[in-house]
Amino acid sequence: MGKQTMKSNAVVCFFTGITLVLGVLPALLFPQTAAAEEASSATPGTQGATMARATALKADVVLKVVHVEKIRKQILEEVKGLGGFHVLVTDNRLDLKVPPENLSEAIKTMTVHGLVISKAIQRTDLTQEIAQLEGALRSKQEIFERLETLVNQSDLSSTLNIERTMGQLVSEIEQAKGRLRVETERAQWAVINLSFQYRARQEIVYVESPFAWLNNVELPRFIREF
């Protein structure tokens, strides 16, 4: 009788494990499909109520200036006052990030410092991409949790396979989190790529002339009146 009970329990555990694996397998093999089905399962009204539009803003501005160092410092201070910060600073380029609501004001502020050669603003809708990344991440996390329940119900060989799959899932989850952070940050900050065009002023170099009268001439005035 005891042997029959043990055999019966083993059969139940076997079929329970099979059932759990079959439930996890489709999502494990096709995580993007599972995430898409999860996202599409929400009603249109619910989706519209919970999902705000996420937009990435990028502006490219080319500005012709005279005193580039002075203007570069002024622009950095003005951007800081608008809640922004610099990402890259070179002699002829500034890469900046500002809150999206202050993008127009930031561009308006910096264009008063010189002649605008070109200006372009690009908008990219990230709403669907972020939703898909969030759905894929939830799907992978749910699969991981289901696999955890299988570990204690499986034999040694199956446990090793499950742990190997769980290790792979951990890597995929971290990658999905990283991509989600990148896309979310793109929507949180507007990017301004500002390039400067300028002509360096040539300095007048004074040299000693063999003609005494020429050494007494005010050279800048002489050149200006010539």
Q: Beta 85-89 vs 93-98: how paired, if at all?
A: antiparallel
**Residue 156 included in any domain:** yes
**What residue numbers bound the domain in which 29 lies?**
1-33+54-200
**Residue 47 included in any domain:** no
Residue type, 30: F
> How many structural domains is the chain composed of?
1
Crossing angle of helices 2-29 and 31-40, in 10° steps, is 80
DSSP-assigned beta bridge partners for residue 197: 64
**Residue 220 included in any domain:** no
What share of the chain in percent tops pLDDT 70?
Answer: 65
Q: Predicted confidence band at 159 (pLDDT cuts at 50, 70, 90)? A: confident
**Residue 39 included in any domain:** no
**Residue 154 included in any domain:** yes
**Residue 41 included in any domain:** no
**Residue 84 included in any domain:** yes
**Residue 120 included in any domain:** yes
pLDDT in tens, 169-204: 999 999 999 999 999 999 999 999 999 997 655 555
pTM for the full predicted model: 0.59
